[in-house]
Amino acid sequence: MKKSAEEQLKLKLQQAGNKNRLCGVLIEPILAISMRFFRVFSYLKGNVKRFFMLAMTFFLFAVYSSFSFPIFIRGDKEAQGETKDVMSEAPQDIMLAEEVEINLEEIELLDDADVLMEDEQYAETSHGMDIVARYSALDILESNQSYTSLEKPSKEVSGDYEFSEDDWRIVLINKQNSIPDDYEVKLGVINTIKGPMQCDERIINDMLDMFKAAQEEGIVLEVCSPYRDFEYQQMLFNRKIKRYMNKGMSYMEAYKLSNQVVTVPGASEHQLGLALDLVTTDYVDLDQGFADTDAGKWLAANSYRYGFILRYPLGKEYITGIEYEPWHFRYVGVEAATVITQQGITLEEFWEDYL
């Protein structure tokens, strides 16, 4: 049947070619093309089942890889009971919906002071504490002479000191390690002219020794709100997010940026009472310029002698996850502080190498 159809077409074309000279010239190529078409058509006709199967296979593959694959991955994660962090629980679709172009280079990063000053009324008293107050080291030393009266043995650290993971002084708090639920903050109160200042009572002696030593070098330190509770930390964090969103960012963008400057609530060393934000009488801003002041330089070089480390050093942001903060000092005890400062490492690296 297909053969005869082919023959008939060939015959008709040849007849047309005989009738007309122009057709005669064209008839050869037309004939060749028609014959080829006929053969291809016949081949397809003879292999319908085979092609259908091939097409179905391809179709199923395409459907599976474009739709099912991401669903399978999500299903897997849930099945493994993977812990969800705050990022994954935040509404991710907001990011897709927002199309505002934000140039991160031009956005000024907000630090604690920026959001503290925002609302003076709230800032003045939070949980009965004067939170914007800076406590002068001079005042602290004068009001707490009983602490400094303790003469301490020289602080030489022996090379074979054994560090223990259970040591409260070196507890690691960062974005990956939030404060353990059973962590007990042992708050002590230091009396100052401006009122009580709180921090872990076990660091007070070393802190006062450090203030005294700085003072002998002509440096007057000032402490900014050493202890902050969870609610306060949360308030700071939320304020930053709000401020960034007011600048046109999506929630996710604002969250990420706030995350860089203030530590996520539940991950701040200030909640332990083990961190001090230090400035000096001539330079009271919590910013990177503090590093160039005499106080900033003295602290970076000497704080380890009193058990404090510069917790978020320059160039280690990729490890700490926090911007350079030349004012933030964390108590880790003289032994760990000596190792960390002399090796030029972070608390994270110290945990890797020494525990």
Judged by the rule CB under 5 A, the positions of this chain that interact with Zn ion are 277, 328
Q: Which C-beta is closer to Zn ion: that of 133 or that of 245?
A: 133
Q: Which C-beta is closer to Zn ion: that of 169 or that of 330?
A: 330
Q: Is 184 a catalytic residue?
A: no
CB of 191 to Zn ion, least distance (A): 22
Q: Which C-beta is closer to Zn ion: that of 74 or that of 127?
A: 127
CB of 67 to Zn ion, least distance (A): 48
Which residues contact residue 37 at a Cβ distance below 8 angstroms, ignoring those fewer than 6 apart?
Answer: none
CB of 334 to Zn ion, least distance (A): 21
Q: Which residues pair with 280 in a beta bridge?
A: 221, 283
Annotated catalytic residue within 222, 253, 269, 325: 325
Q: Which C-beta is closer to Zn ion: that of 114 or that of 277?
A: 277
CB of 199 to Zn ion, least distance (A): 12
Closest residue by beta carbon to Zn ion = 328
CB of 278 to Zn ion, least distance (A): 9
CB of 326 to Zn ion, least distance (A): 11
Separation CA 116–CA 90 (nearest Å): 25
Q: Which C-beta is closer to Zn ion: that of 239 or that of 328?
A: 328
In SS3 terms, the chain reads as CHHHHHHHHHHHHHHHHHHCHHHHHHHHHHHHHHHHHHHHHHHHHHCHHHHHHHHHHHHHHHHHHHHHHHHHHHHHHHHCCCCCCHHHHCCCHHHHHCCCCCCCCCCCCCCHHHHHCCCHHHHHCECCECCCCEEEHHHHHHHCHHHHCCCCCCCCCCCCCCCCCCCHHHCCCCCCCCCCCCCCCCEEEEEECCEEEEEEHHHHHHHHHHHHHHHHCCCCEEEECCCCCHHHHHHHHHHHHHHHHHCCCCHHHHHHHHHHHCCCCCCCHHHHCCEEEEEECCECCCCHHHHHCHHHHHHHHHHHHHCEEECCCCCCHHHHCCCCCCCEEEECCHHHHHHHHHHCCCHHHHHHHHC
Q: Which C-beta is closer to Zn ion: that of 209 or that of 277?
A: 277
Q: Which residues are catalytic?
A: 325
